[in-house]
Amino acid sequence: MSLTLNQIRQNCQAARTAFARTRTEHFALGAFNLDNQETLIAVVRAAVAKKAPILVEVSHGEVNAMGLDNVRDMVDNYKYQYGVEIYINLDHSATVQDAIAGIEAGFECIHIDISEAKHEASDEEIIAGTKQVVEAAKLTGALVEAEPHYFAGSSNVHEETIDYEEIKKTFSTPEGAKAFVEATGIDTYAAAIGNLHGAYPVPKTLDLELLKRVRQAIDCNISLHGGSGTPGHYFIEAVKIGVSKVNINSDIRMAYRNTLEKVLAENKTEYAVVKLMPRVIDEVQKVIEAKIDMFNSADKARPQDKLMLK
């Protein structure tokens, strides 16, 4: 269905309220990437089971496969069917134009990442592009997220170990975070404290003391990208410190693919794909429910009647 500008603004205000609640009620919103409808079903069922507010997100690859408007419509269909508190984030939007397209499609959260397309982008380029998106987002009230430099890793399963000496070169600093937030006016700062995209053969290690200093330096929301493959105790502590959003992608994809391969191997004569998907959805749902528990967002969803569009 097509949303009116007033409806989009109501959704964005509800998302802003949800982010504010993460700070007062001490939880983080899980931001789960969608590869397809089956992943969305798993996320929504997990939200229902845990009574949790959630974010779903798509980046360039998913947008190309499904389309911004189709994602908006599909999420809204499940939102009302299941009565869940759910918002959409455009993740790692590499250009100002792409970010504005997400705003106009009615996404409540927009992540502008100038350095995604241009790793060597200057500070001035990143700030200027981010400010353009912040200004454009005033149309709907969408929350804008950004970071001041390229974020390491990729949403895949990596075979190499993590070179923390190299990763530390791009860690956030309290002073840098404060300067970037003040220069851009963003709503959410993507912190780099040892988190990086993708799954690795060793668990990730987060610098929680650094996170505390960053939290003290800025007033806006803080997100953690690259949440897959991170021991749960880091999330529990990060939420206490004041993280509002955690991105999960690779853990979902691994559960999806590994289960699908098993199901295919066990059902070599079945060609009705829809009959092969229940176990896949179930396993992805288990991953998401476990993350919701780590983020302390279970039982934090607002009643649907308070979120209905008018």
Structure tokens at 202: 């060793």
pLDDT of residue 138: 98
Separation between Cα atoms, residue 245 and residue 288, nearest integer Å = 14
For 173-191, write each residue's pLDDT tens digit: 999 999 999 999 999 999 9
Examine the pLDDT at 164 and tell me if it is beyond 90.
no
Structure tokens at 139: 């149309």
- Binned at pLDDT 50, 70 and 90, residue 198 comes out as low
Are the C-beta atoms of 15 and 109 separated by less than 8 Å?
Answer: yes
Closest by Cα among 252, 241, 244 to 291: 252
Angle between helix axes 232-241 and 208-217 (nearest 10 degrees) is 20
- Binned at pLDDT 50, 70 and 90, residue 115 comes out as confident
Work out the average pLDDT over 258-272. 97
For 3-33, write each residue's pLDDT tens digit: 999 999 999 999 999 999 999 999 999 999 9
- How many other CB atoms sit within 10 Å of the CB of residue 195? 28
Closest by Cα among 29, 93, 14 to 60: 93
Closest by Cα among 196, 197, 107 to 144: 107
End-to-end Cα, the chain, rounded Å: 14
Known catalytic residues are 91
pLDDT of residue 276: 97
Q: What is the pTM of this model?
A: 0.92
pLDDT of residue 154: 58
Work out the average pLDDT over 275-285. 98
pLDDT of residue 42: 98
Work out the average pLDDT over 50-56. 98
Work out the average pLDDT over 287-302. 97
For 140-150, write each residue's pLDDT tens digit: 999 999 999 76
> 7-21, 76-90, 158-172: lowest mean pLDDT where?
158-172
Examine the pLDDT at 308 and tell me if it is beyond 50.
no
Q: Considering Cα of 259, then 261, then 266, then 268, what sign does the dihedral take? A: positive
Q: Which residue has the higher pLDDT, 6 or 194?
A: 6
pLDDT of residue 229: 85
Q: Considering Cα of 291, then 19, then 106, then 223, what sign does the dihedral take? A: negative
Work out the average pLDDT over 186-201. 84
Structure tokens at 198: 């993708």
Domains for the chain: give ranges and CATH numbers: 5-306 (3.20.20.70)
